[in-house]
Chain A
């Protein structure tokens, strides 16, 4: 236990920056490279790092199994739901122009929503896959 002190302290130090970087990749994806897929994988990577350093139970405290299981369909529902909103407001499926008062802002909002959906599904699925494989090996 004492031998991996540097690993434990180092992981604790780096964790907030990984999460911050994931959020940056997510929300800066409209201006620079990045988006929901990459941010989701980085978020899941953070959980994996916690699990490798502190054990699966510590990772489960950060990302409980119930939350992860719900994130997998939730993101896909947010994405598909954004399309349905456009449909209900009298436009085509996944047409974002009616989501806000003017077309360009509607598109901006629509992109934000579907990227959030992608983030939730990707982060949830990658974490769930990791949990499933690790549990299987026990």
Chain B
């Protein structure tokens, strides 16, 4: 199951890189998001899978399509072959793979991350918070500062886009109105 999903992910990634039509790229990223959601379900991370399906395949697709409406829909060919980015990407990938070599084997119960605070969360969550879903309890209670930060990031991103795109429109309209007077 994992091998099939990961192979499909690799195939879709290569297709995204080779595809020149940006509309095609958007469609491929939908497939990528759903594959990624499936991978996360296999990993038992249902909350994250749900986010990936709704954000990755849903809202970001809509926003990407709305962006395509504003710009040209065909990616320009690079002027010359870029070897340096290839080396940087390959080098970073190699370092990341090298880093996974020292990680504990996948799914090990006594890995460091499972011995620190996780047993306490699993044992005490219902008693301390009345919330049976440990993921929600960790997200909104034990790690509440992180989630506050995430909410602030979304808030900031929204305000930023509204100021950059919406603000320009309002100013443009005001200029036109001033010019016509």
Contact = CB atoms under 8 A, between A and B. Distances in A.
Given A30-B132, A129-B161, A133-B67, A45 B50 contact: no
Contacts of A69: 162
B112 interface: no
Nearest to A29: B136
B7 interface: no
Interface string A41-53: 1101100100000
A98 interface: no
A117 B161 contact: no
Contacts of A83: 144, 148
B131 A30 contact: yes
A56 to B, nearest CB: 11
Given A114-B147, A122-B154, A133-B70, A31 B132 contact: yes
Contacts of B13: none
B140 A115 contact: yes
B27 interface: no
B130 interface: yes
A104 B141 CA distance: 11
B24 to A, nearest CB: 20
Contact of B63 (A117, A122, A130): A130
Nearest to A49: B62
Contacts of A37: 51, 55, 150
Contact of B151 (A45, A118, A136): A118
Quick one: which of A75, A108, A129 has the most chain B CB within 10 A? A129
Nearest to A86: B144
A134 B69 CA distance: 9
Q: Which are the 5 A-B pairs with shortest beta-carbon distances? A: A125-B158, A133-B66, A107-B129, A33-B46, A108-B130
29 contacts: A25-B50, A29-B136, A30-B133, A31-B132, A33-B50, A38-B47, A38-B51, A41-B58, A45-B59, A48-B62, A69-B162, A76-B151, A76-B155, A83-B148, A103-B128, A107-B129, A110-B144, A111-B129, A111-B131, A111-B141, A114-B147, A122-B154, A125-B154, A130-B59, A132-B161, A133-B63, A133-B165, A135-B166, A137-B69
Interface of B: 46-47, 49-51, 54-55, 58-59, 62-63, 66-67, 69-70, 127-133, 135-137, 139-141, 144-145, 147-148, 150-152, 154-155, 157-159, 161-162, 165-166, 169
